[in-house]
Amino acid sequence: MIDFDGYRPNVGIVLLNAQGQVFWARRVRRDGWQFPQGGMHTDETPDEAMYRELYEETGLRREQVEILGSTHGWLRYRLPNRYQRRGERPLCVGQKQVWFLLRLLDDDSALKLDVHETPEFDLWRWVDFWYPAEHVVAFKRGVYERALRHFAPLVETACRVTLGFSPRNPSARTPG
């Protein structure tokens, strides 16, 4: 499902542990690391797509997480030309995403990367909150930064931690 402007509707998931660290996973047969994310089916709401993707990519079910927040409206990123499939119609030029902040309510042992027949990830770890904004593939960086800046105050409150400043804007307090 591609919209009129060429963007595929998608959900992104920032999964948080009690210490304010985030789930960071390596894509199967690739060197890239990212947050769980995935496309929405035509008949799904963003919440439904998020729970489906959460299970497919991490093995977690809705009772094992708590939704702490979500972004308002779509956050978009454009795919570099080399990743656009020029022969396909409609042409997908990028993704538009609703992001969710989830808190893990279970032990780490609940995370299972192989519940789906074609796993998305083969390795995962907990990383500092701002780490993904600096280490995700360059074309996704802006969306990651916007989502994390939006979620930072929620994380500080929920986990009783101080996250500091966004990596790209160290002189300003993280906006809500």
Q: How confident is the model at residue 175 (pLDDT cuts 50, 70, 90)?
A: very low
Contact (Cβ atoms closer than 8 angstroms) between residue 120 and residue 57: yes
Enclosing H/E stretch for 154: helix 141-159
Shortest CA distance to 25 belongs to which of 112, 110, 94, 105?
Answer: 112
Per-residue model confidence as pLDDT tens digits over 6-32: 899 999 999 999 999 999 999 998 889
Model pLDDT, residue 85: 77
Per-residue model confidence as pLDDT tens digits over 68-80: 999 999 999 999 8
Amino acid identity for residue 2 in this structure: I
Contact (Cβ atoms closer than 8 angstroms) between residue 57 and residue 39: no
Contact (Cβ atoms closer than 8 angstroms) between residue 140 and residue 163: no
Shortest CA distance to 146 belongs to which of 156, 155, 133, 127?
Answer: 133
What is the set of domains in the chain, with CATH numbers?
A: 7-159 (3.90.79.10)
pTM: 0.91
Model pLDDT, residue 137: 95
In the predicted model, is pLDDT for residue 169 greater than 80? Answer: no
In the predicted model, is pLDDT for residue 159 greater than 60? Answer: yes
